[in-house]
Structure 1
């Protein structure tokens, strides 16, 4: 879909060069308006493209949980894994904000700090599976179906 839009835009640009060289300024104005129409049509086509299901996977370690007994630790690890999976969904929908700072003194790297953050609302995520991975970790897989992704993206726009 995107490649079709890009091809249309390139064809319009090629026609613009040809028109400008043969017939002068008025043709250039007409060609610019035709390029704008082609790009607007491409935007509509991209917005209408089918949204796929988005899947997020998260992990939680049992031994790292602060509970007193093993069953509480397991439940807490599953909760951590689910939140990690939801964070991954949020990153896919809203994007990830990266803040980075590097300090170099006398051509030697002294400090390199990178921070990432994401902010968004996820609704309607389904838990597909909760699996133990090894003896100390849980994996949780969640998904958002295409209708819910489309609603979230529409709300963001």
Structure 2
């Protein structure tokens, strides 16, 4: 898998080397990319520049991944008077849980822990986790009932937002 990723990265450079070599070999003869022998050197230079520009665009373009977040909530645990309200509240809670999952992936998770040991015996072990951040552009992919008492909500973070986050992180 890693070799494939490396090949994917160097492929535009291999193509660029091929185009430059082909152009240098055939430029004096007026043959470049199948243009024939009656082509002026200026036309060959234009053809080379356009091939280089096309290759540069491929190198500069990056694949932006999709980030998905999944959340779950039980219907019976919701504090409502009827089953329909409980279902709606479970969907809302599952959506918020999916947003929390997205926020953890984008902004990270802050962990804190405390352990108390008395006379070489563990007395108390506490771990706390918190996440804080802003998520924009998330869209709902699906809302599924899971079993008879649970809802699952899957959200996807907008590719433009991910690109913006990556650009901000690089600066």
Query: With CA pairs under 8 Å and 6+ residues apart, which has the higher RCO, 1 or 2?
Result: 1
| Partner residue, 1:61 | 74
The answer for unaligned runs of 5 or more in structure 1 is: 5-47
Residue 115 of structure 1: SS of its match in structure 2? strand
What is the Cα deviation at residue 153 of structure 1?
Answer: 4.0
Are residue 132 (structure 1) and residue 145 (structure 2) matched? yes
Note the 1:63-78 alignment, pairs <5 A.
63-78=76-91
2:135 to 122, 136, 145: 122
Distance 1:112 1:153 in 2: 37
Instruction: List runs of 5+ in structure 2 lacking aligned partners.
Output: 7-60
Larger Rg: 2
Structure 2 matches for 1:101-112, cutoff 5 A? 101-112=114-125
Worse-matched range after superposition: 136-145 or 48-57: 48-57
Query: Shift of residue 154 of structure 1?
Result: 3.8
Q: Distance in 2 between matches of 1:74 and 1:91?
A: 26
Root-mean-square deviation (Å): 2.0
Tell me the CA shift for residue 49 of structure 1. Answer: 5.4
Residue 95 of structure 2 corresponds to: 82
| In 1: Cα distance, 2:163 partner to 2:85 partner | 37
Which position in structure 2 is the counterpart of 1:52? 65
Shift of 1:155: 4.4
Contact 1:52 1:145 in 2 (8 A): no
Per-residue deviation, 1:51? 3.0
Runs ≥4 residues deviating over 6 A: none
TM-score (normalised: structure 2): 0.61
Residue deviations 1:80-109 (CA, integer Å, cap 9, x gap) = 000000000000000000010011111111
Q: Give TM-score, length-normalised by structure 1.
A: 0.66
1:91 aligns with 2:91: no
Partner Cα distance (1:49, 1:113) in 2:
42
Q: How many residues align?
A: 113
